[in-house]
C-alpha cells in the first residue's frame, strides 16, 4: 500500500474537476507505481472506471491541463501523477519527493497544479453593428 501526500488532496477542490476526472485519477492512483508512474493505456484505465472513449480523453486532457497528470514526451502508455498527488513506498521517500517537487516548481522546471484558465465567452465580445 502506498502512502499518499495530503498536500495535494487538500487542494483538489480548487482544480474544478468533474466526476469523470476524479474517476480517471482514482484509476490511475490504483495502478501507479511508487513515485506516481502509471503504465497503462487510456483504454485500460477507461475499462477500470466504465467511461466512454471520448469522456476518458476529455478527462485525461483536464488532468494534464491542470498539471495533475504529467505526460512524458515520446513515451507511449506512460503517465506520471504529479508528485503532490502521487503515492510513495515510505514516508521518507514522500518527503524527499515533495521537497524536490517544491524546489522544481520554484525553479520553473515543474508546473504547479492549477485550475483551468478562465474562458472568455462570446457573449462578452461586443458585436459589430452595420450601418
CA dihedral 47, 52, 54, 60 (to 10 degrees): -40
Q: Which of 65, 104, 57 is nearest to 84 (CA)?
A: 104
Judged against a pLDDT cut of 90, whether residue 7 lies above it is answered with no
Report whether 45 contacts 24 (CB < 8 A). Answer: yes
**Three-class SS state of 11:** coil
Q: Beginning with the edge strand found earlier in the chain, give each strand of the sheet holding 69-70 in spatial order.
A: 37-38, 79-81, 69-70
Q: Which of 93, 104, 103 is nearest to 5 (CA)?
A: 93
Q: Which of 122, 19, 131, 9 is nearest to 68 (CA)?
A: 9
Write down the H helix ranges in 17-117: 19-31, 42-49, 53-65, 91-106
Tell me what the mean pLDDT of segment 100-122 comes to. Answer: 86
Structure confidence at residue 59 as a pLDDT band (50, 70, 90)? very high
DSSP category for residue 120:
P
Report whether 2 contacts 89 (CB < 8 A). Answer: yes
Structure confidence at residue 115 as a pLDDT band (50, 70, 90)? confident
**Whole-model pTM above 0.95?**
no
Amino acid at each position: 500500500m502506498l502512502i499518499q501526500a495530503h498536500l495535494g488532496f487538500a487542494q483538489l477542490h480548487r482544480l474544478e474537476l468533474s466526476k469523470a476526472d476524479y474517476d480517471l485519477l482514482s484509476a490511475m492512483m490504483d495502478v501507479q507505481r511508487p513515485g506516481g508512474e502509471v503504465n497503462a493505456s487510456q483504454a485500460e484505465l477507461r475499462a477500470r472506471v466504465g467511461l466512454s472513449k471520448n469522456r476518458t480523453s476529455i478527462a485525461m486532457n483536464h488532468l494534464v491541463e491542470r498539471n495533475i497528470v504529467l505526460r512524458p514526451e515520446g513515451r507511449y502508455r506512460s503517465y506520471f501523477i504529479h508528485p503532490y498527488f502521487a503515492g510513495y513506498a515510505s514516508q521518507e521517500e514522500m518527503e524527499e519527493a515533495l521537497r524536490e517537487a517544491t524546489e522544481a516548481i520554484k525553479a520553473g522546471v515543474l508546473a504547479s497544479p492549477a485550475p483551468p484558465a478562465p474562458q472568455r465567452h462570446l457573449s462578452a465580445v461586443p458585436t459589430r453593428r452595420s450601418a
